[in-house]
Amino acid sequence: MNANPVVAVLHAEALPSAVRMAPVAEHATLRYTKREGLAGALDGADVLFVYDFQSDALPDAWYAANALSWVHAASAGVDPLMFPELVDSDVTVTNSRGIFDVPIAEYVLAQILSFTKDIPESLRLQRDHTWRHRDSERIAGRSVLVVGTGPIGRAIARLLTAVGMNVSGSGRRSRTGDPDFGTVTATEDLPSALAAADFVVLAAPLTDSTHGLFDAELFGSVKRGARLVNVGRGELVRTDDLVDALRSGVLAGAALDVVDPEPLPRDHPLWDLPGVVVTPHNAGDFVGWQDTLVDAFADNFRRWRAGLPLENVVDKRLGYVPSS
């Protein structure tokens, strides 16, 4: 290993905290760059820290990655990095798995409670100074299907189970006796699982097999009046088909932290459809999340320098970190 490795840091407007990067700067030469300077920063660099995790700049700059051995993403999802040249290379990819699990689970619970207690209508009535008694729904005993059984999906399952909901999962293979989901349905059996779910939570990674998974045909299997919560990727859903499912009443509502496209255009119908909540891809962004992401990279850098196994190594063929 190079005694003074070069670490390229891809960022947007905001730089990672210098204090948090100090353990890396002590042992490496840092090259901070925005997307337009990435190729120059990659030339001779040993490591790339993708702090701007939404950037799609790396494929165009990949030709300059002549010494790169490791790419770390400051995110759980790594779909912008799964282009053929990187997938086929010997470069190791790691992510920030684990940081956002519980905050995202809290977001999901908050949205389910908002649906069932009709918080938006309460706020509207308050703005109108209207006192109107209304009944609300309970969540205990209601059925939830979590599509995606990785760490985020498991955190969601544990939290929703704790409040009395009946949770099952959908993953690549079927199984019973799962510690968090109980029953996990294989993807090919997703239509039958959807028919029984009051709430559907999307927490799957974006891969070739999940891209556009929720289309008009699959929405046709959804229990009428179900609610959808998407905290995975917007591209898991065909947006036009989602709009149709909402307009037809197949879905009674949707909480969308991720959409396709992002950002959602100002004139898009999702903004104004009844029962729809749109948030700007911030379900997991708790106070201090940026520093926590840098800490995770710094800790993995320490392991890399010491020749220890890296944490959260992505299986580039799958597009995510396999569960142990």
Catalytic positions, please? 233, 262, 281
User: Strand 251-256's sheet: what is its strand order?
Assistant: 175-178, 182-186, 166-171, 143-147, 199-202, 226-230, 251-256, 276-278
Q: Which residues pair with 144 in a beta bridge?
A: 167, 199
3-state secondary structure (DSSP) of residue 201: strand
Phi, psi of 121 (to 5 degrees): -70, -35
Q: Which residues pair with 202 in a beta bridge?
A: 147, 230
What H or E segment, with its residue span, contains residue 304? helix 289-306
Helices marked H in 17-94 = 18-25, 38-42, 58-61, 84-87
DSSP strands (E only) in the chain: 6-10, 29-33, 47-50, 70-73, 92-94, 143-147, 166-171, 175-178, 182-186, 199-202, 226-230, 251-256, 276-278
d(C-alpha 18, C-alpha 320), whole Å: 29
Chain centre distance of CA 151 = 11
d(C-alpha 229, C-alpha 198), whole Å: 11
